[in-house]
Amino acid sequence: MTNKSKRTELHELGEFRVIDHLTERAKSINKSTIKGVGDDAAVINMDGKKMVVTTDLLLEGVHFDLTYFPIRHLGYKAVIVNLSDVFAMNALPKQITVSIGVSKRFCLEDLDELYSGIYMACERYGVDLVGGDTSTSYTGLTLSITAIGEAKDEDLCYRSGAKLNDLLCVTGNLGAAYMGLQLLEREKKVFEGNPNIKPQFEGWDYILERFLKPEVRKTILEELHIAGIKPSAMIDISDGLSSEAMHICKNSKVGCRIYLEKLPIDQQTFKIAEEMHIDAIVAALNGGEDYELLFTVPIEFHEKILAIEGVSVIGHITPENTGAFLVTPDGNEIELRAQGWNALKEE
């Protein structure tokens, strides 16, 4: 570490500003680099065909808790998180690399479970495991996955393509994964207080699965393609709807209005949120880890979009100077905040 007198704490800036700061010097010198830092994935030109590359680092204690996260599910989810970024470029994932760091707490049978989940996700989404790195670690499990995908140039969807009056659409529903996590954390605390109390998970299968075993909306992308609808902008929801909508607005130089009563929220999400005294709307806006797709389409596709099951139109794109707001049923406007997941929060 440096001996310089100045010391700027990372949590003062937050994840997005730290990334901006560190990557502002990243100029591309290779012609093949089409898109560098700043979207769901990088885009590389290979004799016409476009390759997309994305990577995620998952650290035990920060991103997952193995006291309630089955290690096989962790392997599955770690792959999904990366494939989600590839699909969010409207590309098809083809290969992954998997690097792991493991402490001696883990035995070969644990790694077999982890890789079972990894291979299961690979098989379901037609992806090949092509490389990686294996190392010892002093502190639990570290997982780093890189996914590679392909797309035709004309199919690629960036965050930057949203246009005035485009419809803002989202797949599936929001906030369920976050509530699944809250339930797991609650039952963990109860169990730690009294190990004789059995965790209460009955009836909550859906929200638990949304957190523990998320899927990617591949079929919806196929339906959009068949219907001749190409999203003008797209992003996957990992940090929460507010944060991702703001990414689209910032990159596309537009504003947006999202209508509160249009937010797709599952009944189970509402039910557990009520039980736990959490606002389901806040979970939907800022919970994150939904791995749904947020995208924009030109307004002429309105009817066609409504015909596609599993897609909700939640708002529209406005001029940049109008900002990004949530509109309540009584017409109040609440400014969206990039709450995000803040991976650099103070420990």
Residues 30 to 69 in contact with its own copies, rule: CB under 8 A = 30, 32-33, 35-37, 41-42, 44, 46-49, 51, 53-57, 59, 61-63, 66
154 makes contact with its own copies (CB under 8 A): no
Contact indicator for 267, 204 with CB cutoff of 8 Å = no
Closest C-alpha among 210, 198, 266 to residue 237: 210
Smallest separation (angstroms) from its own copies to the CB of 147: 10
The position carrying tokens 């009520």 is 274
Sites for its own copies among residues 328-347 (CB under 8 A): 343-347
**Length reported for the chain:** 347
Residue 176: name the closest of 215, 201, 206, 199 by CA. 206
144 scored as a contact of its own copies (CB under 8 A):
yes
Counting residues that bind its own copies (by CB under 8 A) gives: 91
Q: Which residue has the tokens 């909306």?
A: 217
For its own copies, the closer of residues 54 and 182 by Cβ is: 54
Of residues 224-243, which lie at the interface with its own copies (CB under 8 A)? none
Q: Rounded to whole angstroms, what are the CA distances from 228 to 85, 225, 261, 286? A: 22, 5, 28, 31
Tokens describing residue 319:
């001029």
Q: How far is the CB of 40 from its own copies (least distance, A)?
A: 9
Least distance CB 115 / its own copies (angstroms): 5
Q: Give me the 99-118 binding string for its own copies, x by CB under 8 A, dash otherwise.
A: xxxxxxxxxxxxxxx-x---
Q: Is 160 in the site for its own copies (CB under 8 A)?
A: no
Q: Can you tell me which of 84, 90, 142, 268 binds its own copies, judged by CB under 8 A? A: 142
Is there binding between residue 28 and its own copies (CB under 8 A)?
yes
CB closer to its own copies out of 108 and 226:
108
CA proximity to 56, closest of 233, 236, 275: 236
Q: Which range, of 24-32, 205-213, 273-281, 283-291, touches its own copies by CB under 8 A?
A: 24-32
Tokens for 26?
Answer: 């990243």
Which residues within the stretch 64-93 sit at the binding site for its own copies (CB under 8 A)?
66, 71
Tell me the closest approach of the beta carbon of residue 249 to its own copies, in angstroms.
Answer: 21
Q: Half-sphere exposure of residue 217, counting CA atoms within 13 Å on the CB side? A: 27
**Most distant CA pair in the chain, distance:** 62
Map residue 59 onto helix, strand or coil: strand
Q: Is 120 in the site for its own copies (CB under 8 A)?
A: no
The nearest distance, CB 333 to its own copies, in angstroms, is 32
Task: For residue 205, give Cα distances in angstroms to 67, 158, 192.
Answer: 18, 34, 22
Work out how close the CB of 263 gets to its own copies at its nearest, in angstroms, rounded to a whole number: 28
